[in-house]
């Protein structure tokens, strides 16, 4: 799947087909959740601002700020199997710059159940293929939170959070200061070394093995990366420990996808068993979301013209003749806009008018 | 294929000039930047860099939004606006501190809400929240030192470099909140595509700073 898209809708349609082809079933969210559900899990949400309304039964409901929480709530625990779902839903979030609510299409997929390494590989592969579909110049940054958490074992929770923030910022100078102030200066070098482990799996995995040995986690990560390599996706993977999602919810593999020319991550995902436990669920869970609002910039200016042909007609023209003229002009695949007068700012390649026996171009 | 130029946002003013000197010494010169004119963008394809001057408080926005791949911003700006960027290096220049200052004879009364005048509302709010102190923020855009003198506020939260302005206005530093210096920041989405260029620049800057010690 590699073509240039002129709109997010086209891209989303192809991605839905990709997920469906891999056995993911569409999840449709036609009802609203209670506001209280989002409030209880607000740390999981990107934005904690939620639009609320009162339902006919007096309950305070919310326009969905996120789809994952609903999928989790409406799924069931499975032993030995995995429910695989994809979705494309409107969500309502406060935009960063304008501080106003915006309607955004969130596209993504979730696996809920007994998550094994194949599930992780499959989700990473689909995330990588989604990125490639968006742009051939894209990178999937993958981190392993268990390795990070292991390196911070026994560290006080507030220091732990501060260090994770520094790792997320690739901020070695401040991390050293925090470690020193917390009396764990001896850990700073190792944490910096881990933070600097950035690059292609082939370069980073040997460093991880040298640091931690062939632990179960490192071996699993290596196997997954090897399979990605064999699938021809290795060149777009970077191991990057600065991808740090909230460790209260996330564990194992987490990732973020970037596309050249888009200033923020366009895909974000990972394993979130912590959220499942918080909601009293036994299953594991894994998924990702694509922020389609981020992609708008990629499709900007894709069309230099609003339509190929502007067909000018007058009230005196025969209706059937106008319709015939539109069909004639469309016959070579051109898009045609019929207007009585040329609207301001409408950009068309050519202008035509109804003429005796058909149409004639008026722009030479 | 030639590498794309690395877009670098520099803060206009004294700090920006100091920082540009550092980039130049580290091997990323752009002679046209020293020419007397009103241009805002300067590039040197040989060094692989394009510099532009922006308002110091806007550097983080240019970098976060990807108009610049990297930039130099004061830690005060990073703490106040919390941009989603990488903070790669402490450049150890532009050193000052964020502090609470008040009239020399001011005594805090914990039974009253503390009135704090500042340009840095978020930093002040976080600091006093960590102290469990109830405050009222008075957001000002300049001449912060006037606020306690005219009774507009009890204290101010502001950047203190030498302390001369405070002294001249009979104000004193009551508490230090955080040390400030210039930081090299990078756009998170640019980083994976410009890793080698950014890493080379960082290494040269670190070597230059080490040599200058």
Contact A174 B90 (CB under 8 A): yes
- CA distance linking residue A171 with residue A239, whole number of Å: 17
The verdict on a CB contact (< 8 Å) between B64 and A263 is: yes
Write down the pLDDT at residue A92.
87
What mean pLDDT is reported for chain A? Answer: 89
Is B66 close to A264, i.e. CB distance below 8 A? yes
- Tell me the chain B residues in contact with residue A258 when contact means C-beta distances shorter than 8 Å: 188-189, 192-193
* B6 near A CB under 8 A: no
Which positions of chain A have pLDDT values less than 50?
A: 2
Q: Which residues of A touch B66 (CB under 8 A)?
A: 262-264
Q: Provide the chain B residues 109-168 that lie in CB contact (below 8 A) with chain A.
A: none
CB nearest to B192's CB, from A173, A258, A263 = A258
- Alpha-carbon span B84 to B93, nearest angstrom: 22
ipTM above 0.85, yes or no: yes
Sort out which chain A residues have CB atoms less than 8 A from B193's CB and list them. 137, 139, 258, 260
Interface touch A137/B64, C-beta < 8 Å: no
pLDDT, position B5: 95
How far apart are the CA of A167 and the nearest CA of chain B, in angstroms?
A: 9
**Is the Cα dihedral A204, A208, A210, A216 positive or negative?**
negative
pLDDT tens digits for range B151-201: 999 999 999 999 898 999 999 999 999 999 999 999 999 999 999 999 999
Q: Quick check: B193 contacting A, CB < 8 Å? A: yes
Which SS3 state, helix, strand or coil, does residue A99 take?
coil
DSSP H stretches of helix in B88-194:
121-131, 146-149, 164-168
Region for A85 from its dihedrals, namely left if φ exceeds 0, alpha if ψ lies in -120 to 50, beta otherwise: beta
The H or E element spanning position B137 is strand B135-139
Tens of pLDDT, residues A168-187: 999 999 999 999 999 999 99
Residues A25, B134: Cα–Cα separation, whole Å: 52
B51-97 per-position pLDDT tens digit:
999 999 999 999 999 999 999 999 999 999 999 999 999 999 999 99
Query: Is it the case that residue B16 has pLDDT exceeding 60?
Result: yes
Cα three-residue angle A239-A245-A247, rounded to 5 degrees = 115
Query: What is the average pLDDT value for chain B, to the nearest integer?
Result: 94
Per-residue pLDDT, A305: 84
Q: Which residues in chain A are closer than 8 Å to B195, comparing Cβ atoms?
A: 198-199
- Contact of B85 with chain A, judged by CB distance below 8 Å, is answered with yes
How many contacts, defined by CB atoms under 8 Å, are there between A and B? 45
- Cβ neighbours of residue B97 closer than 8 Å, sequence gap 6 or more: B159, B160, B176, B177, B178, B179, B180
- What is the spatial distance between Cα B40 and Cα B21, in angstroms, rounded to a whole number? 17
Contact A141 B192 (CB under 8 A): yes
Of A139, A169, A258, the CB nearest to B86: A169
Identify which of A173, A199, A259 has the shortest CB distance to residue B90. A173
Distance, in Å, from the CA atom of A326 to the CA atom of A309, rounded to the nearest integer, reads: 9
Find the residue in A nearest to B70 (Cα): A263
Supply the pLDDT for residue A2: 47
CA distances to A65, A73, A203, B100 from A51, in Å: 8, 19, 46, 38
| Inter-chain CB proximity B192 and A265 less than 8 Å | no
Question: Residue B213: pLDDT above 90?
Answer: no
pLDDT at A69: 87
pLDDT of res. A115: 94
Shortest distance, CA B85 to any CA of chain A (angstroms): 7
**B88 contacts in chain A (CB < 8 Å):** 170-171
Cβ-nearest to A169 among B66, B87, B189:
B87
Among A243, A201, A200, A251, which Cα is nearest to A222's?
A201
Question: Phi then psi for A349, rounded to 5 degrees?
Answer: -65, -45
Q: Which domains does chain A have, with CATH numbers?
A: 1-131+260-304 (3.30.930.10), 138-245 (no CATH), 305-361 (no CATH)
Contacts with B86 from chain A: Cβ below 8 Å? 169-171, 242
């Amino acid at each position: 799947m590699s073509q240039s898209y002129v709109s997010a809708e086209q891209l989303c349609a192809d991605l839905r087909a990709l997920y469906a082809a891999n056995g993911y079933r569409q999840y449709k969210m036609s009802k609203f959740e209670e506001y209280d559900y989002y409030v209880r899990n607000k740390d999981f949400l990107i934005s904690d601002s939620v639009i609320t309304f009162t339902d006919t039964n007096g309950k305070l409901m919310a326009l969905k700020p996120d789809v994952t929480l609903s999928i989790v709530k409406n799924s069931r625990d499975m032993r030995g199997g995995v429910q695989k779902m994809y979705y494309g839903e409107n969500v309502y979030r406060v935009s960063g710059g304008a501080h106003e609510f915006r309607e955004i299409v969130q596209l993504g997929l979730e696996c809920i159940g007994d998550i094994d390494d194949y599930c992780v590989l499959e989700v990473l592969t689909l995330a990588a293929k989604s990125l490639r579909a968006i742009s051939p110049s894209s990178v999937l940054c993958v981190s392993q939170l268990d390795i990070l958490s292991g390196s911070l074992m026994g560290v006080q929770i507030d220091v732990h959070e501060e260090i994770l923030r520094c790792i997320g910022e690739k901020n070695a100078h401040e991390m050293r200061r925090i470690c020193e102030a917390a009396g764990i200066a001896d850990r700073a070098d190792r944490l910096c070394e881990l933070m600097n482990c950035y690059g292609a799996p082939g370069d980073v995995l040997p460093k991880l093995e040298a640091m931690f040995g062939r632990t179960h986690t490192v071996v699993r990560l290596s196997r997954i990366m090897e399979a990605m390599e064999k699938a021809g996706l290795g060149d777009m993977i970077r191991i990057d420990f600065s991808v740090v999602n909230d460790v209260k919810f996330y564990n194992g593999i987490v990732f973020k996808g970037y596309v050249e020319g888009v200033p923020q991550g366009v895909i974000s995902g990972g394993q979130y068993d912590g959220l499942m436990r918080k909601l009293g669920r036994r299953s594991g869970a894994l998924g990702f979301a694509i922020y389609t609002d981020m992609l708008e910039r990629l499709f900007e200016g894709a069309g230099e013209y609003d339509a190929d042909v502007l067909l000018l007609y007058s009230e005196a023209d025969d209706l059937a003749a106008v319709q015939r003229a539109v069909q004639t002009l469309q016959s070579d695949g051109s898009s045609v806009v019929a207007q009585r007068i040329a609207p301001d700012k409408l950009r068309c390649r050519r202008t035509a008018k109804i003429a005796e026996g058909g149409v004639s171009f008026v722009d030479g | 294929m030639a590498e794309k130029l690395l877009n670098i946002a520099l803060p206009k003013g004294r700090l920006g000039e100091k920082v540009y000197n550092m980039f130049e010494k580290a091997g990323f010169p752009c002679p046209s930047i020293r020419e007397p004119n009103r241009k805002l963008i300067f590039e040197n394809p040989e060094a692989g860099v394009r510099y532009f001057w922006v308002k110091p408080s806007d550097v983080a926005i240019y970098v976060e939004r990807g108009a610049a791949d990297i930039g130099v911003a004061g830690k005060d700006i990073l703490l106040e606006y919390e941009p989603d960027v990488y903070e790669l290096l402490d450049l150890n220049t532009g050193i000052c501190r964020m502090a609470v200052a008040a009239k020399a004879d001011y005594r805090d009364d914990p039974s009253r809400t503390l009135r704090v005048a500042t340009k840095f509302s978020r930093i002040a709010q976080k600091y006093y929240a960590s102290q469990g102190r109830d405050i009222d923020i008075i957001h000002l855009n300049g001449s912060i030192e006037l606020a306690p003198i005219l009774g507009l506020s009890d204290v101010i939260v502001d950047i203190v470099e030498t302390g001369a302005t405070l002294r001249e206005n009979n104000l004193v530093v009551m508490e230090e909140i955080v040390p400030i210096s210039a930081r090299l920041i990078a756009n998170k989405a640019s980083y994976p595509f410009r890793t080698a260029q950014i890493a080379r620049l960082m290494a040269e800057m670190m070597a230059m700073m080490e040599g200058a010690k």
